Chain A
Amino acid sequence: MGPISRRFYISIRWKTIVPLLAVVVVGFAASSYFSVFRLGRELEASTVATARVLTRAWETDIVRALEAGRPQEIAPTLDLKARLPGIERLAVLDSRGRLINSHGRLKGRLLPRDLARRLEPARSSDRVVGWREKGPIYHALAAVRTKEGRVWGYIMLDLSIAHTEQRIAAARRATLAANAITIMVVVTAAALAANVLVHKPLQRLRETMARVASGDLAARAPFTSADELGQLEQSFNKMIEQIEAKNKALIEAQERLVLREKLASIGLLAAGVAHEINNPLATISVAAERLAEQAASPEQKQMAERILSQCARVTQTISDLLSFDRTGTFDMVHFDPVRLVQDAIEAVDASSARIEVSAPSLIPKVRVDPVKMRQALANILLNAVQASQPDGKVKVELARIGNWLQISVSDSGPGIRPENLRRIFDPFFTTKEEGEGRGLGLAIAYEIVKNHGGEVAAISPAPGTQSAQKGTMMKVRLPLEAQGAVSGG
């Protein structure tokens, strides 16, 4: 696991949703603000208009009563009007702003503190002056003028705007609620979409990558859709397939290399100890042979001969191990491969199996050290013969494949178990009974063929065999020279 996966990071899901959320929230907040603000402005404008109309109307009433010389009618008229809903107070002030009359629900209250400041603007123009102090009340002030234009006094109307404010608050709440719901719906939908379309596929891909990183090259990303992520999964899978193939090739190459190294070191060791073993063996065998000749009894003779046979066994082992010594030279000659195979068959005691050889009529000669290659083929043949049933057949087939001469040896034996297949060229690996085989034959064959620039491979079950007997096919490939001599088969 790399450092990236352990570090804190922000999921792509949040990276999508949070900016979206911010934009939506800001957008809706702005739109709500402006709509509520506009509503407030509209309501205020309508309040002002109402105040203006009512103030003017009642100013007219006052002027009319004054002109008719019945100022006493002013108070009852205004008292009646002040009962209209929404009117909190209706006050009449004299020309210096002192309260003459007050009607309505708030008639006992103090006059607004700002009033004095408003008298002059109302006096100097025909406008209705309106303002708000604290509380849900709108004050409207207008001068009452006589016909001559003299300012008789003022009329002040206090309108309740509690209702308006309630409407604004309600509108604000409604907008907020609607916006909140919309935001939630939008964000949830975006989150779900991001989850299903991006996060989940990415997570699957990431899990697959983690499995691959931990060494499971068989892991594949599930191919879910044809979109960009699907393409990513596909290319990831393709990449892993290539890595797997290359990795397999690399492992095989490495195994071959390790095997060759192993064989070379055995050869080196054998060359080193050959003297140390063969010299004492020479003394032992000569002495044992002498003892056998001069034995006083058959038992003694038998004992001496047993020493001799064991000496021979050690000698053979050393001799086999020396096959891995690469300091020896090769006597390379152009040689008829069919003769090579026949020589090898002669070297093998083939009484227990019938060896069939098939070769094309024209087959090129191959450059080999005939002695060594004969030994390699004999070892392979011996293995095939031993694996085959008593009456089983061993087939040897020669063929030219491109620039290679292929000698395939197929037996009718039980086949090689997969776990053993890759070890059969390992020195000292054997499935035979203890004492029956030292596990060197195929390793020697491998070494010899490799030293000729060739290849050996074991295929089990052998291709084209019946189901009862799986069989094994050993394929030996030897390089042919570009203009190889052609001889009659």
Chain B
Amino acid sequence: MPDGLSLLIVDDDKALLEVLTSLLSQEGHNVVAVPSGYEAFDLLGRQEFDLVLVDLRMRRMNGLELLEAEKVRHPEARIVVMTAYATVDAAVQALRSGAYDFLTKPFKLANLRAIIRRVEEQKRAAAA
């Protein structure tokens, strides 16, 4: 795919980072993976991504903090929150804070691909 998305994946689980990076790169996306909220926030200040996948629970700066901070800086940023402990409360709070979508770990690839497809369509529509 010539026009893959630029993706940022933020998770302190390195195994998942590696698998997702490899998988999404193979599918033609430009993937950057960082293991902490701080690094992600720093990177997001310098570089723009089509989609950010962020784990909700991380040490120091967690997903929700990153989401809220980034939304202040770039309200148009598309951030998908992933969580290993799905509660309705957490989902509601993430969506209220402006999350693009919500993924419960473990998730199906189809779900992730659906989100990516949606972003691609939005991008195409915006370009047209």
Tell whether, in the assembled complex, residue B105 and residue A290 are in contact, meaning their CB atoms are under 8 Å apart. no
* CB proximity of B102 to chain A, nearest CB, Å: 14
- Contacts known (A271-B85, A283-B19); A289 close to B13, Cβ less than 8 A: no
Distance, CA A436 to CA B108, complexed state (A): 24
Tell whether, in the assembled complex, residue A289 and residue B109 are in contact, meaning their CB atoms are under 8 Å apart. yes
Tell whether, in the assembled complex, residue A282 and residue B107 are in contact, meaning their CB atoms are under 8 Å apart. yes
Label chain A's interface by main secondary structure.
Answer: helix
B57: A residues at CB distance < 8 A:
275
B20: A residues at CB distance < 8 A:
286
Tell whether, in the assembled complex, residue A290 and residue B19 are in contact, meaning their CB atoms are under 8 Å apart. yes
A297 close to B (CB within 8 Å) = no
A322 close to B (CB within 8 Å) = yes
* CB proximity of B27 to chain A, nearest CB, Å: 10
B126 close to A (CB within 8 Å) = no
Distance, CA A279 to CA B58, complexed state (A): 12
A344-364, CB < 8 A from B: none
B23 close to A (CB within 8 Å) = yes
A271: B residues at CB distance < 8 A:
85
- B contact residues, range: 20 to 34
Distance, CA A371 to CA B85, complexed state (A): 18
Tell whether, in the assembled complex, residue A328 and residue B106 are in contact, meaning their CB atoms are under 8 Å apart. no
A148: B residues at CB distance < 8 A:
none
Distance, CA A132 to CA B119, complexed state (A): 148
- A contact residues, range: 20 to 34
Tell whether, in the assembled complex, residue B84 and residue A275 are in contact, meaning their CB atoms are under 8 Å apart. yes
- Name the one of B23, B84, B88 contacting A282, with C-beta atoms under 8 angstroms: B84
A257 close to B (CB within 8 Å) = no
Distance, CA A289 to CA B24, complexed state (A): 13
Distance, CA A371 to CA B87, complexed state (A): 13
- Name the one of A275, A284, A289, A328 contacting B108, with C-beta atoms under 8 angstroms: A289
The 0/1 profile, CB within 8 Å of B marked 1, for residues 253-288 of chain A is 000000000000000000100110111111111110
The 0/1 profile, CB within 8 Å of A marked 1, for residues 14-25 of chain B is 011001100100
Residue of B nearest to A284 (CB): B106
Tell whether, in the assembled complex, residue A282 and residue B85 are in contact, meaning their CB atoms are under 8 Å apart. no
Residue of A nearest to B87 (CB): A328
Tell whether, in the assembled complex, residue A279 and residue B88 are in contact, meaning their CB atoms are under 8 Å apart. no
B87-127, CB < 8 A from A: 87-89, 105-109, 112
Residue of A nearest to B105 (CB): A282
Tell whether, in the assembled complex, residue A286 and residue B88 are in contact, meaning their CB atoms are under 8 Å apart. no
- Contacts known (A282-B16, A283-B19); A275 close to B109, Cβ less than 8 A: no
A285: B residues at CB distance < 8 A:
106-108
Tell whether, in the assembled complex, residue A279 and residue B84 are in contact, meaning their CB atoms are under 8 Å apart. yes
A329 close to B (CB within 8 Å) = yes
* CB proximity of A260 to chain B, nearest CB, Å: 21
A228 close to B (CB within 8 Å) = no
- Name the one of B85, B88, B112 contacting A275, with C-beta atoms under 8 angstroms: B85
A133 close to B (CB within 8 Å) = no
Tell whether, in the assembled complex, residue A274 and residue B23 are in contact, meaning their CB atoms are under 8 Å apart. no
Tell whether, in the assembled complex, residue A283 and residue B85 are in contact, meaning their CB atoms are under 8 Å apart. no
Tell whether, in the assembled complex, residue B109 and residue A279 are in contact, meaning their CB atoms are under 8 Å apart. no
Residues of A within 8 A of B (CB): 271, 274-275, 277-287, 289-290, 293, 311, 315, 319, 322, 328-329, 331, 371
Of the A-B pairs whose beta carbons lie under 8 Å apart in the complex, a sample of 17, sorted by A's number, is A271-B85, A277-B84, A278-B84, A279-B105, A282-B84, A282-B106, A282-B107, A283-B15, A283-B19, A286-B20, A286-B107, A286-B109, A286-B112, A289-B109, A290-B19, A290-B23, A329-B89
Given contacts A275-B57, A286-B19, A328-B87, 20 further A-B contacts (CB under 8 A): A271-B85, A274-B84, A277-B84, A279-B16, A279-B84, A282-B105, A282-B106, A283-B13, A283-B15, A283-B16, A284-B106, A285-B107, A286-B20, A286-B107, A286-B112, A289-B109, A290-B109, A319-B86, A331-B88, A371-B88
The 8 closest A-B pairs by CB, nearest first: A278-B84, A282-B105, A282-B106, A285-B106, A281-B106, A274-B85, A283-B16, A275-B84
